[in-house]
Amino acid sequence: MTTNKKSSLASAMWKMKCPNCRKGDLFETKNPWILSKLDSMPPRCPVCNQSYFPEVGFYYGAMYISYMVSIAVEVPIFLLMLLFFGFQMVPMVITLCVSLIFFFPYIYRYSRVLWIYVTIPFESYKKL
């Protein structure tokens, strides 16, 4: 069933949809674990023709978002380990590294999603 209703902002971000129309997919594959296609994005939204690359190096800014998202993922894991197992350096470092590797494709993609959702609402980018 298809509807013309625009999905909510949070739902569109979760589903990695276009920030302008919230219908077109931001990434070519839905599965982030296909690492060869991890950063494959169409140049424009197939629904509303919004550019996903409004300027050269547009996604460099997503690196800062990636750092914040990584911290947001790792701090709760650190605190849970601290709460249940106390401070044990080696198991904690191993767990945090493994969890970071596990969450990397999601962190990478959602960093791009957050970055484009922060920047596209500006009128100058909407025209591109």
Contact yes or no for 22/12 (Cβ under 8 A): yes
Q: Candidates 15-23, 32-40, 68-76, 96-104: pick the segment binding Zn ion (CB under 5 A).
A: 15-23
12, 13, 26, 45: which one contacts Zn ion (CB under 5 A)?
A: 45
If binding is defined by CB under 5 A, does position 96 make contact with Zn ion?
no
# chain residues binding Zn ion, by CB under 5 A:
8
Q: Candidates 28-36, 41-49, 77-85, 111-119: pick the segment binding Zn ion (CB under 5 A).
A: 41-49
Q: Alpha-carbon distance 100 to 102, whole Å?
A: 5
Q: Which of 64, 78, 77 is nearest to 107 (CA)?
A: 64
If binding is defined by CB under 5 A, does position 27 make contact with Zn ion?
no
Please, which residue, 7 or 70, has the CB nearer to Zn ion?
Answer: 7
What type of residue is 84? F
Nearest-approach distance from CB 8 to Zn ion, in angstroms? 15
Q: Alpha-carbon distance 24 to 21, whole Å?
A: 7
16, 38, 42, 47: which one contacts Zn ion (CB under 5 A)?
A: 47
Q: In the numeric block, which tokens belong to residue 53?
A: 């690359």
What type of residue is 69? V
Q: End-to-end CA distance of the chain, in Å?
A: 31
Chain residues in the site for Zn ion (CB under 5 A): 18, 20-21, 24, 45, 47-48, 50
